[in-house]
Amino acid sequence: MKSETSRASEPQADVMPLAGVKVLELGSLIAGPYASALLAQFGAEVIKIEPPKDGDPLRKWRKLHNDTSLWWYTQSRNKKSVTLDLKREEARGIVRKLAAEVDIVIENFRPGTLEKWGLGWEQLSALNPKLIMVRISGYGQSGPYSQRPGFAAIAECMGGLRHVTGFPDRPPVRVGVSLGDTLASLYGTIGALVAMHHLKSHNGKGQFIDVALYESVFAVMESLIPEYAEFGFERGRSGASLPGISPSNTYLCGDGHYVVIAGNGDAIFKRLMHAIGRDDLAEDPELARNDGRVKHNDRLDQAISEWTTQRPLAQALQVLEAAEVPSGRVYTASDIAKDPHYEARGMIQRETLPDGEPIDLPGIVPKLSETPGRTKWVGPALGSHTEEVLASLGIGADEFARLRADGVV
């Protein structure tokens, strides 16, 4: 039998930290829906509003299984799908009823769209003074660009990320995911939780959170602006290296694979140099600190490259790991799927698709010790919760049948 101490430290599997929190999601694709997805993974009841005929366009993005995107099944897990044609006033009336009883509304329409429909902040907060509303858009709710359409690709340019991504002799490139959307989702989620804490712990009132895609990118650009303000320095593209921090780069191994080595900590640098047989560089006082190493970055990269190109990736990693130097291979999806650390940490979760076929989904982050998030169901079929949710508003079967016949739901 387990002791009381060990039992107390076990996760409370049936308790989810956001249980009782109700979220209304108005929007599509990535930034808004991913923010509500994060809340759903930790127990919030998320009611997602979708157009009746085709639903969220994400349902058809990337690889499809039985005509539904595998991305959809991941991003929309634990959500309830309700179909409403927001171009119809009767549907908007239902949204108002829902907004009057939820804790959080998350939307990512172009600024002004919800106001035209009578669903803006002023209208919904009048119905629900404690409402928290997360508003995600390309450029924010104010400013001269606010009415422009905004996608992550454009936000990553305006936020400064694209200019520093890639190699200096080639055009700017993008990372392989919609990073601007994801960053905005994270800031939106943080804003919602901070506002909810203020509301419940400090006798506060409801408020809206204004999240701009470009600002979410700009916020993670580290010292970009201070360096420009002080020195007029404009950081450019530096390929696979980390500018101003040395040594940190991607190096070719003898078998054609690449190894990423981050030897930029002072003690780590010494261990790295000893590991590759360059005791002279390890003990050089001019290289003892980062500012000195940066001046000789090309020389250090050459020394490391001469070492990596003489051995296969596996051998290089073995030596570096023994020396406690941060290093790693460049993982592919297949590398991730068979990696023992991913498995041990529960980062690949086996779930079941609606047709009974098993599917692997990414695990839930972050990991809470007592009340972890979990997947209760994968992304739902279009409109599968419409009747249930409308019934909670007092709309009976006959009225629901009429709304469906009229194309409202």
Note whether 202 and 296 are same-domain residues.
no
Active site residue 181: yes
Note whether 208 and 274 are same-domain residues.
no
Note whether 275 and 156 are same-domain residues.
no
Q: The domain that contains 166 carries what CATH number? A: 3.40.50.10540
Q: How far is CA 402 from CA 54, 193, 298, 387, 406, in A?
A: 20, 38, 72, 12, 6
| Residue 337 is assigned to a structural domain of this protein | no
Q: The domain that contains 285 carries what CATH number? A: 3.30.1540.10
| Residue 239 is assigned to a structural domain of this protein | no
Note whether 314 and 384 are same-domain residues.
no
| Residue 243 is assigned to a structural domain of this protein | no
| pTM score, whole prediction | 0.92
| Residue 350 is assigned to a structural domain of this protein | no
Note whether 215 and 253 are same-domain residues.
no
pLDDT digit of tens for each residue in the chain (409 aa)?
A: 333 333 334 455 578 999 999 999 999 999 999 999 999 999 999 999 999 999 999 999 999 999 999 999 999 999 999 999 999 999 999 999 999 999 999 999 999 999 999 999 999 999 999 999 999 999 999 999 999 999 999 999 999 999 999 999 999 999 999 999 999 999 999 999 999 999 999 988 999 999 999 999 999 999 999 999 999 999 999 999 888 899 999 999 999 999 999 999 999 999 999 999 999 999 999 999 999 999 999 999 999 999 999 999 999 999 999 999 999 999 999 999 999 999 999 999 999 999 999 999 999 999 999 999 999 999 999 999 999 999 999 999 999 999 999 999 9
Backbone angles phi, psi at 208, to 5 degrees: -110, 150
Number of domains forming the structure of the chain:
2
Note whether 267 and 399 are same-domain residues.
no
Note whether 204 and 290 are same-domain residues.
no
What residue numbers bound the domain in which 48 lies?
A: 4-220+361-405
Note whether 210 and 311 are same-domain residues.
no
CB < 8 Å & 24+ apart, contacts of 284-290: 290/245, 290/246, 290/264, 290/266
Note whether 171 and 27 are same-domain residues.
yes
Domain boundary among 329, 344, 379: 329
| Residue 322 is assigned to a structural domain of this protein | yes
| Residue 192 is assigned to a structural domain of this protein | yes
Active-site entry in 85, 103, 181, 210: 181
Taking the CB of residue 288, how many other CB atoms lie within 10 A of it?
A: 14
Note whether 184 and 100 are same-domain residues.
yes
